[in-house]
Structure 1
């Protein structure tokens, strides 16, 4: 039950998933907790493998779902704690020292999260990369832990169930799911990259316009 293709990431996946052969479904839970802390580790590969192990009788599919979802919640709370430790004051101080970033950007982000944080946490658990990162701003704004926990549990349960059951029913053909999941991840990465480029271009133009204004006034 491996995903080796010679790459370092596949080797890492194989090593982590190997935990399932040693400690059973708890290994799947630990692997998913690590995936939250290290987003390049793909849950889209780990979860179907947990389903595949369940189909082979290594443990039940219910155990796979319970342990992987528990791992998701534990990993999310670790990043939530990191965000809470960072806090709004530290985040604002960091933003003030970064080029192209304004303190107002932090304020707007916090205001947006106050209004849409619940939806962001719930749906973010079903989007590659964001499923891990969304926990940090939730901690920064100190979203109530019970609310964060319930939303994370609900979103993670849906995501994990889809991929665990895919591995359970597809068996050795679980790579089909991984292929489509990879496409989704590439789309998300491309969208994030485009948003970053757009932000940099707009901010540089804005700063350039402000620099030209004093020159115009002087003339």
Structure 2
């Protein structure tokens, strides 16, 4: 797939290519299976080759990430409003009590989750949905999201730059990065699940 993407981007003009990177960064939030990180890594390769200026590449990827975060935030905000319009009625299988619990957790831990969201593949978009449902200030949520996107984009572009034009090395780095990130997310979710189960057991006894 990396070879195909490389050929596709190579045949695009500078601005169409930058537009593709912008769209990829946004879609990664809205459609989690979309391989946005892989495309961003290719951006590092193209920056090293001199095809796409590094500052422009950095800017469009961060902007795309913020747009994707904004869309997910608005979805969450809409869901929260639907709950308020129909109190006591489950929506998408979520009860009002569960929403209130989510809102309480986001008020306590929301800023930290938003700051690290870009490093959490698979669930990064859901964090902004939760922020919107919890009615966190939109400006604050997007500001923290922008900081996270800047740090992540700098890292991914640097990884892409380290391989130069070596696409095989790029695939290897991408696989290592994704495995490591998914492992950390899995560990965090496992710890959270164990804590929930222990609390329920304590209440039952």
| Same-fold call, TM cutoff 0.5 | yes
In the aligned structure 1, how far is the partner of 2:170 from the partner of 2:9? 19
Superposition deviation, residue 195 in structure 1:
6.8
In the aligned structure 2, how far is the partner of 1:54 from the partner of 1:80? 31
Greater mean deviation of Cα atoms: 49-58 or 178-187: 178-187
Structure 1 residue 123 and structure 2 residue 122: aligned?
Answer: no
**RMSD value, Cα:** 3.3
Structure 1, unpaired ranges of 5+: 5-10, 210-219
TM-score by length of 1: 0.74
Aligned match for 2:45, one of 48, 52, 75: 52
Structure 1 residue 82 and structure 2 residue 75: aligned?
Answer: yes
After superposition, give the CA deviation of every residue in 1:160-194 in whole Å (9 maximum; x if it has no partner): 11001111222212223212212124315644775
After superposition, give the CA deviation of every residue in 1:8-39 in whole Å (9 maximum; x if it has no partner): xxx7xx39x93574202221111111111111
Structure 1 residue 165 and structure 2 residue 151: aligned?
Answer: no
In the aligned structure 2, how far is the partner of 1:120 from the partner of 1:190? 15
Structure of larger gyration radius: 1
Structure 1 residue 27 and structure 2 residue 20: aligned?
Answer: yes
Structure 2, unpaired ranges of 5+: none
Aligned match for 1:182, one of 178, 182, 185: 178
Give yes or no for contact 1:20–1:27 (8 Å, CA) kept in 2: no
Q: In the alignment, what sits opposite 1:143?
A: 136
| Alignment size in residue pairs | 196
Give yes or no for contact 2:83–2:96 (8 Å, CA) kept in 1: no
Give yes or no for contact 1:118–1:151 (8 Å, CA) kept in 2: yes
In the aligned structure 1, how far is the partner of 2:107 from the partner of 2:74? 18
TM-score by length of 2: 0.79
